[in-house]
Amino acid sequence: MTRPENSHGRRVVDRFVQRFGRSPQLLVRAPGRLCLLGAHVDTAQGWVLPGAIDRAIWLAASLATDRSGSLVACDLTDESGLDPARLAPPRHQRPGDPLRWTDYPQGVAWTLGNSGVGPLPPLDVVFGGDIPRGAGLSSSAAVEVAFLLAWNALAGLRLDRRSLAELATRVEREYVGVRSGVMDPFASLFGQSDHLLWLDCRSLDSRPVPLPTTVSVVVVDSGTRRELAASEFNARRTESAAALQRVRELYPSVETLRDLSVADLPDLLPQLPSPLDRRVQHVVEECARVQQGVEALERGEVETFGQLLRASHESSRDLFECSLPRLDAMAAAAWATEGCLGARFMGGGFGGCVAALVEVGSEPATAEAMLDVVGEVVPPPLVCRFADGAAIVDTVEPGNQPPAEGQRTC
């Protein structure tokens, strides 16, 4: 294994050698994601416009030498065992049990084990990265994707990327207990450098959409955190499901809310109780904004695209009601900055970060305007590029690993 160029890749490889006395068999990079348009429409099988970013989880792994593998989380300075034959049950069967970092690799092993792929071998793993946790950049999906790629390779499962994205979604829904959609792992797996990804969450058809090189995305952490499984996130999913049930009573041909058009809303909304009317309006109009955003980018109308980002934030705030006052103030501060084309909060809402689409050169002023709102010590702003999707970036064939004596790098 050549020593990785990325500092985070080097760190997990060095830590693996230090901890286990041998080189890892493979090194995985799984990026986080930004979703510029398509907030809360993936579970309605709508259309979304995310992209993989140049912040990632790096994971060094080998088949374990013991019956129970060992997991080392560099960023948390913590370690745990993981025996795929003896896993904790899903979180809904552990009432009152807090979410732990180990639930994500455990969830991957549990989901694979319940997918008919056969018994999984235990792994020795070291992982870490530079995706801020809880900021709305899908660090959890990146962890799940990284472990899925590692087991897929080391256990010889031969699962394709679409299957891996669907399995990661099952980890969140069935094990972790978050009713999320396929967008996050799909973006992590299928991202393309300097492009966003148009994704149909029903068919899983996708295509890259180029983002002009004249713009960049600056991300500022609000300093507020939320555990999605214990927040209002699932409540919004419940409301959306109730809204769909009511809509289908009125429009039996509707399968999900994506099947409605903006033209349907004037007749439909008065027939829905509050707050279901607002949830439906957001989902239908957000689906339309995604299509409008793709058309704007393909025409080179980046200013129009930025306006759609602002409209998306306002709709999430007023109709889906999943923002917070600090996020709203940060977005407003960004909008008022010269060179900012649009901004909106990222992720499921109720905390996390705000991302602003800006003209190149305007990143410092926009970041400073948002930091003035935060008014406390938070992680440094990120200027993100859109990157290629997850991959195994290096491997060592079993039985051909270099000796551990004196070895601290690889």
Q: What is the mean pLDDT of the chain?
A: 91
> Is 311 domain-assigned?
yes
Whether the predicted pLDDT of 315 surpasses 90:
yes
Same domain, 85 and 161: yes
* CA–CA dist 300, 313 (Å, integer): 22
pLDDT value for 43: 82
pLDDT in tens, 197-250: 999 999 999 999 999 989 999 999 998 865 544 567 778 888 999 999 999 999
**Paired sense of beta strands 382-384 and 215-224, if any:** antiparallel
Which regions of 316-379 does DSSP assign to beta strands (E)? Answer: 340-345, 352-359
Same domain, 32 and 66: yes
Which residues are CB-neighbours of 89 under 8 A, at least 6 positions away? none
**In b/e form, how buried is each residue of 236-272, taking b as 16+ CB within 10 angstroms?**
bbebbeebbebbeeeeeebebbbbbeeebbeebeeeb
* CA–CA dist 344, 335 (Å, integer): 9
**Paired sense of beta strands 352-359 and 215-224, if any:** antiparallel
pLDDT value for 231: 60
pLDDT value for 183: 94
**DSSP annotation string for 240-292:** HHHHHHHHHHH-TT-SSGGG--GGGHHHHGGGS-TTHHHHHHHHHHHHHHHHH
Place of tokens 């999320």: 180
Per-residue pLDDT band at 360 (split at 50, 70, 90): very high
* CA quadruple 139, 143, 144, 146: dihedral sign: positive
Distance of CA 40 to the CA centre of its chain: 13
> Is 270 domain-assigned?
yes
Which residues are bridge partners to 49 per DSSP? Answer: 37
pLDDT value for 3: 63
> Is 248 domain-assigned?
yes
> Is 163 domain-assigned?
yes
* CA–CA dist 350, 336 (Å, integer): 23
pLDDT in tens, 128-152: 999 988 777 889 999 999 999 999 9
Same domain, 322 and 175: no
- Environment class of residue 204 by beta-carbon count within 10 Å: exposed (0-12), middle (13-18) or buried (19+)? middle
Place of tokens 């309605």: 44
The CATH number that applies at residue 331 is 3.30.70.890
Residues 398-408: what's their mean pLDDT? 35
> Is 285 domain-assigned?
yes
pLDDT in tens, 62-109: 999 888 899 999 999 999 999 999 999 999 999 988 899 999 999 999
Which of 27-41, 44-58, 225-239, 375-389 comes out lowest in average pLDDT?
A: 225-239
Structural domain harbouring 21: 7-210+388-395
Place of tokens 């952490």: 221
> Is 406 domain-assigned?
no
Which residues are bridge partners to 47 per DSSP? Answer: 200
Which residues are bridge partners to 123 per DSSP? Answer: 63
| H helix or E strand, kind and range, residue 17 | helix 7-20
Domain count within the chain:
2
Please name which of 63, 40, 44, 123 lies closest in space to residue 346, comparing C-alpha atoms: 40
Please name which of 397, 404, 399 lies closest in space to residue 154, comparing C-alpha atoms: 397
Same domain, 188 and 234: no
Same domain, 236 and 342: yes
> Is 309 domain-assigned?
yes
pLDDT value for 407: 29
Please name which of 218, 252, 240 lies closest in space to residue 379, comparing C-alpha atoms: 218
> Is 408 domain-assigned?
no
* CA–CA dist 122, 120 (Å, integer): 6
Per-residue pLDDT band at 396 (split at 50, 70, 90): low
pLDDT in tens, 27-40: 999 999 999 999 99
Same domain, 82 and 228: no
pLDDT value for 226: 58
The CATH number that applies at residue 57 is 3.30.230.10
CB atoms within 10 A of CB 101: 17
Which residues are CB-neighbours of 151 under 8 A, at least 6 positions away? 108, 109, 112, 120, 123, 157
Same domain, 31 and 143: yes
Q: What is the CA radius of gyration of the chain?
A: 21
pTM of the prediction?
0.89
Per-residue pLDDT band at 1 (split at 50, 70, 90): low
Helices of type H across 21-160: 103-113, 139-154
* CA–CA dist 276, 173 (Å, integer): 23
Cβ proximity of 169 and 180 under 8 Å: yes
Whether the predicted pLDDT of 399 surpasses 80:
no
Whether the predicted pLDDT of 404 surpasses 50:
no
| Two structure tokens written together for 51 | 């992209």
More confident residue, 342 or 117: 342
Active site residues: 184
Same domain, 195 and 253: no
pLDDT in tens, 279-307: 999 999 999 999 999 999 999 999 999 99
pLDDT value for 35: 94
Residues 189-200: what's their mean pLDDT? 97
pLDDT value for 398: 46
Per-residue pLDDT band at 6 (split at 50, 70, 90): confident
Residues 36-53: what's their mean pLDDT? 94
Please name which of 149, 58, 144 lies closest in space to residue 102, comparing C-alpha atoms: 144
Whether the predicted pLDDT of 401 surpasses 50:
no
pLDDT value for 5: 66
Same domain, 196 and 319: no
Same domain, 360 and 380: yes
Same domain, 194 and 276: no
* CA–CA dist 391, 409 (Å, integer): 21
Same domain, 222 and 181: no
| Two structure tokens written together for 122 | 């235990």
